[in-house]
Amino acid sequence: MNIRYLLKMANEIAAGFSALPDEAAASREVAGHLRRFWAPQMRRQIVEHARATGGEGLSALARRAVGELG
Amino acid sequence: MMQICDIDHGTPASRSAEKVTLTIDGRSVTVPAGTSVMRAASEMGNSIPKLCATEQLKPFGSCRLCLVEIEGRRGYPASCTTPVEAGMVVRTQSPKLAELRRGVMELYLSDHPLDCFACPANGNCELQTAAGMVGLREVRYEPGANHFDAASRQPVDVSNPYFAYDPAKCIVCSRCVRACDDIQGTFALTIAGRGFASRMVAGESQPYLDSKCVSCGACVAACPTGSLMEKSLIERGQAQGSTITTCAYCGVGCSLKVETQGSEIVRIVPDRAGGANRGHACVKGRFAWGYATHRDRITRPMIRASIREPWREVSWQEALDHAAAELRRIQAEHGRNAVGGVTSSRCTNEETYLVQKLMRAALGTNNVDTCARVCHAPTGYGLKQTLGEAAGTQAFDSVEQADVVMLIGANSTDAHPVFGSRLKQRLREGARLIVIDPRSIELARSPHIEAAYHLKLLPGTNVAVLNALAHVIVTEGLVDVAFVRERCEVDSFEAWRDFVARPENAPEAMAAVSGVPAEAIRGAARLYASAANAAIYYGLGVTEHSQGSTAVMAIAALAMATGNIGREGVGVNPLRGQNNVQGSGDMGSFPHEFTGYRHVGDDAVRASFEAEWGVALDPEPGMRLPNMLEAAHEGGLRALYIQGEDIVQSDPNSQHVAAALQAMECVIIQDLFLNETAQYAHVFLPGSSFLEKDGTFTNSERRISPVRQVMAPLGGMADWQVTQALSNALGYPMSYGHPSEIMDEIARLTPTFHGVSYAKLERLGSIQWPCNEAAPEGTPTMHVDSFVRGKGRFMLTPYVATSEKAGPRYPLLMTTGRILSQYNVGTQTRRTGNLAWYKEDLLEIHPHDAEERNIRDGDWVGVASRAGETVLRASVTERVQPGVCYTTFHFPECGANVLTTDNSDWATNCPEYKVTAVQVVRVTQPSEWQERRRRFAEEQARLRPETARAGGA
């Protein structure tokens, strides 16, 4: 899949949980959402991207959540 | 005209719990208080002759035929308008009554054509029946002034495509007028003239088609004579028999009676016993069924190696073997997840269930999705998170108890017309209405209805407004503290309360974002929170946004915070788009869930399916439909089995969808017609309409209703049989003998369906799930004592502006929707007489924006977005506000979804159909896309078998 497509979705999911005051809790929610709703190949691809680029294109919360997937 | 075999008790049933005992014709009778004498007599078997009375309408007392004698009362009161009283002694027959009734009847017949043998109402005419009941043997009046002889007769109005109005046969009983007013709420008919000149007219004495009539058919159903009659019945004659089934159009799920001669349909009428529709229907369900036997139907399987080759008609077996071989080949070469499936929200529960079973069990992939993805997926997510169940909370009947209705992003009178009419009825009774919608929809202001508040927000700002409403409720002390304390998670409530109370969520702060004045938001919040019973109804104007799921959770929070959940008259009510959107989700169509919304990763749930299906199942979610299409562009998905959906026309960014299909090696379409998507297909499997099969649909109120076969499948197999045969060709055996066996399997596997069976459906008519040991006959109202998830959960709902913004290049915001006469992509309704009302998608644009662009009403306008460009005809109207335009998506050549983008809801990927930044300019020729589409469609038409044969000959 085009990585920009995945990055956009991941950032939007992170924005959806952005109001949670505890960033660790927000990150767990985002990671849980990705595990629950994303097909494994999509998760693998974004994890590989994050590892390879240091999370380029991801918001801080999304980057942290993707890190939890790995 | 009354339906064959219906017993009509003359006046509506009373719902009073108080009982009254009286004597009728010497027999003691006990009925609910408020019952009419007419109904009480009819229910005991002594029907009183009547003409202006029907149980569908309030009594009117005009025909003077239903006179009775009541001891101690003077004269002969009309039994329809006389309520029963304790101790009352009534006589329905006496020599004097017979004389009076015969006199009345003589007067009626003196001005009625007595061509009964040639009248299409013959055999089912209430005037005839009444004449028979009163024992009329002669009409003593000499011929005189009348409305039926050649010199006096007004022409028959045949302007409506579906029914005719013959004024000569009108007896001026006003049933049609009252049906239009009281049931439908359109007020399109009236009695014109006075005295002898009185006659029913449409509009201002216009042809029906030119009036405001919405062709719901209520007037036709109400007519006691042959004055208003279906053209199909006039042509074919009275029916031999009838079948009760469920409408295949919108999510209201009306129960319909299909009247037939053999397997030919004479007409379709609403079922008076229908739990969802209570005897009403709309122009689609009642009349737009001609598509089922339209000449465009494809009834033979076809295959081709590439989309540039002609279709080749083949046997079912060859088509299924070919499809199976291709799916297996692709899986062998590219992995099991290189294939996907799409279930249909237009097909039955049983058919939908089988497609997802085929994908998961036969093909070993969870890549299965449904068109609910593109409409109400956020409802499933949002309500599951907050209330614990992915469904609405009420029955439609509940609206009758609502004191305040908040209608958000739902144009009910067009998209869910029968519910729209019921809502209008309640509003005319005095309920207050809050409309939250960018457009001036009919319910915001129409005859006898005006919303107390119309929050005319900018597209994309629902969450801003919902948070502002919550802010007012929280900061002005309008929270139902006792309800929250007892029923909800206190921690989550407090976090939500603190969040919405922040200054940035105040109406004054959100006014700049949403365009809604702060005082209107404050007033609406106070009205909603202060009502004894306040209900929220919402539609795709909530879900089809980048924050669709957030908005659903914000709605649930409003209902919980104000205690408006768990009883009649309140609740959270999603109005589903298509007939079986609820059902397709229930049946496990989403890639991450089995039936009953249970995650594939749940070991215990998965084990139950593995035991029933006899295969190991994947514990990981599959790809959603938008993911599948995106993956196809880069070879990640190479085959797609689509049951009954036209994703090229219905899904956003059409060109992107078409390119994805072109990138695939095998596209299998199962449909009635060679639709836009089928033009990119390699295998075509003929589908069957709702009239050709048995099954069930589940509507917006969780009501499972039977679909019953009226005619044999034109292609030889019902859709469930096709999927079963494909599964067998794939080597995964299925051997259901009837859809009831599929439902039995669903019931075994699904806790909320444990108690559902065809036998019970036959007995009860319909069932609202959950139906199980705890609720053997179903659950009209959910979350009564506790929420499905235990305690209600408040989610934080920050407003995040969509990235789709108006700017210098695309300065207007376009939103999309539906019109009454057309349905979804129009596959069905475009092949019916409904084209008389709407034959192309129009772009609504405000006069101010039109003037700036030198656009006049009816001009061709080019509409461009960052996704594409098309050309539509302009409709200059103040229904839209400045800066906003609107169109529908019913016609493929118009290309509304060429414009919509791939923005989607953050939680579910439901497309953001409701917000597209566009520019609009006056043009003189079609867009490049339209030219390309036209050429492609012409090429594809040449590749159809009949065309190829004609060319070859």
pLDDT digits 0-9 by tens, B712-743 = 999 999 999 999 999 999 999 999 999 999 99
pLDDT > 90? residue B6: no
DSSP per-residue letters across B536-572: EEE-HHHHSSTTHHHHHHHHHHHHHHTT--SSTT-EE
Q: Which fold has domain B302-375+581-751?
A: Rossmann fold (3.40.50)
How many whole angstroms from its chain centre is CA B314? 36
- Judging contacts by C-beta atoms under 8 Å, the chain B residues touching residue A13 are 906-907
Average pLDDT (B507-514) is 97
Give me the phi and psi of B844, to 5 degrees please.
Answer: -80, 130
pLDDT > 50? residue B556: yes
Categorize the per-residue pLDDT at B144 as very low, low, confident or very high, splitting at 50, 70 and 90: confident
Specify the domain boundaries for CATH 3.10.20.740 within chain B.
19-134
Bond preceding residue B770 cis, omega within 30 of 0: yes
Single out the residue of B443, B440, B442 nearest to residue B431, CA to CA: B443
pLDDT > 90? residue B810: yes
Instruction: Determine the pLDDT at residue B883.
Output: 97
Average pLDDT (A52-64) is 97
Q: Return d(Cα B841, Cα B946) in angstroms, integer.
A: 30
Average pLDDT (A23-44) is 97
Q: What residues contact B747, with CB distance under 8 A and at least 6 apart?
A: B753, B754, B755, B756, B757
Q: Out of B623, B634, B796, name the one closest to residue A20 (CB).
A: B796
Average pLDDT (B306-310) is 97
Categorize the per-residue pLDDT at B950 as very low, low, confident or very high, splitting at 50, 70 and 90: low
pLDDT > 50? residue B952: no
Q: What residues contact B261, with CB distance under 8 A and at least 6 apart?
A: B236, B237, B239, B240
Give me the phi and psi of B613, to 5 degrees please.
Answer: -90, -15
Q: Which helix (H) or strand (E) holds A13?
A: helix A3-16
Residue B906 touches chain A, beta carbons under 8 Å: yes
Average pLDDT (B569-578) is 96
* Sequence ranges of the domains in chain A: 3-69
- Strand order across the B767-768 sheet: B695-698, B703-707, B767-768
Which option is the CATH number for B377-574: 3.40.228.10, 3.40.50.300, 3.40.630.30, 3.20.20.410? 3.40.228.10
The C-alpha R_g of chain A, in whole angstroms, comes to 11
Single out the residue of B214, B17, B227, B34 nearest to residue B112, CA to CA: B227
Instruction: Determine the pLDDT at residue B5.
Output: 56
Instruction: Determine the pLDDT at residue B953.
Output: 37
**Which of B368, B504, B796, B904 to mutate to probe the A interface, most A CBs <10 Å?**
B796
Q: Give bridge partners of residue B341 from the DSSP assignment.
A: B368, B641
* B272-to-B54, B240, B277, B888 alpha-carbon distances in Å: 12, 19, 8, 32
Contact (CB<8Å) A41/B636: yes
Match 């929420």 to its residue by tokens. Answer: B787
Instruction: Determine the pLDDT at residue B687.
Output: 97
Q: Return d(Cα B310, Cα A2) in angstroms, integer.
A: 33
pLDDT > 80? residue B681: yes
Chain A residues 30-49 within an 8 A CB cutoff of chain B: 33, 36-42
Residue B907 touches chain A, beta carbons under 8 Å: yes
**Which of B373, B620, B624, B906 to mutate to probe the A interface, most A CBs <10 Å?**
B906
CA distance B906 to chain A (A): 5
Note if the pTM is more than 0.90: yes
- Judging contacts by C-beta atoms under 8 Å, the chain B residues touching residue A15 are 798, 800, 906
Single out the residue of B788, B753, B748 nearest to residue B768, CA to CA: B753
> Closest chain A residue to B338 measured between Cα atoms?
A41
Q: Return d(Cα B713, Cα B723) in angstroms, integer.
A: 14
Instruction: Determine the pLDDT at residue B142.
Output: 85
- Residue pair B843/B920 in contact by the 8 Å Cβ criterion: yes
CA distance B519 to chain A (A): 26
- Judging contacts by C-beta atoms under 8 Å, the chain B residues touching residue A62 are none
> Closest chain B residue to A21 measured between Cα atoms?
B495
The tokens of B348 are what?
């039955």
Report pLDDT digits (tens) over B196-251. Answer: 999 999 999 999 999 999 999 999 999 999 999 999 999 999 999 999 999 999 99
What is chain B's mean pLDDT, rounded?
96
Number of A–B residue contacts, CB under 8 Å: 62
Report pLDDT digits (tens) over B887-896. Answer: 999 999 999 9
pLDDT > 80? residue B501: yes
Average pLDDT (B477-495) is 98
Q: Return d(Cα B312, Cα B309) in angstroms, integer.
A: 9
Residue B349 touches chain A, beta carbons under 8 Å: no
The C-alpha R_g of chain B, in whole angstroms, comes to 29
**Domain B19-134 in this protein, CATH class:** alpha beta
Residue B901 touches chain A, beta carbons under 8 Å: no
Categorize the per-residue pLDDT at B1 as very low, low, confident or very high, splitting at 50, 70 and 90: low
Q: What residues contact B644, with CB distance under 8 A and at least 6 apart?
A: B344, B346, B347, B670, B671, B672, B687, B719
- Judging contacts by C-beta atoms under 8 Å, the chain A residues touching residue B550 are 16
Residue B505 touches chain A, beta carbons under 8 Å: no
Residue A24 touches chain B, beta carbons under 8 Å: no
Residue B132 touches chain A, beta carbons under 8 Å: no
Architecture of domain B812-900+923-940: Beta Barrel (2.40)
Which runs of consecutive H residues, i.e. helices, occur in B49-141? 95-110, 126-134
pLDDT > 70? residue B83: yes
Instruction: Determine the pLDDT at residue B4.
Output: 52
- Residue pair B499/B470 in contact by the 8 Å Cβ criterion: no
Q: Return d(Cα A17, Cα A62) in angstroms, integer.
A: 10
Which amino acid, residue B544? E
Residue B337 touches chain A, beta carbons under 8 Å: yes
Give me the phi and psi of B21, to 5 degrees please.
Answer: -110, 130
Which amino acid, residue B595? T
Q: Which helix (H) or strand (E) holds B20?
A: strand B19-24
Average pLDDT (B693-707) is 98
Contact (CB<8Å) A1/B630: yes
**Which of B627, B630, B633, B799 to mutate to probe the A interface, most A CBs <10 Å?**
B627
Report pLDDT digits (tens) over B414-450. Answer: 999 999 999 999 999 999 999 999 999 999 999 999 9
**Burial class (CB within 10 angstroms; exposed 0-12, middle 13-18, buried 19+) of B159:** middle
Residue B633 touches chain A, beta carbons under 8 Å: yes
Single out the residue of B916, B236, B650 nearest to residue B658, CA to CA: B650
Single out the residue of B439, B804, B458, B769 nearest to residue B652, CA to CA: B804
CATH no. for B163-293: 3.30.70.20
pLDDT > 70? residue B110: yes
DSSP per-residue letters across B812-853: EEEEEE--TT--TT-TTGGGSGGGGT--S-EEEE-HHHHHHT
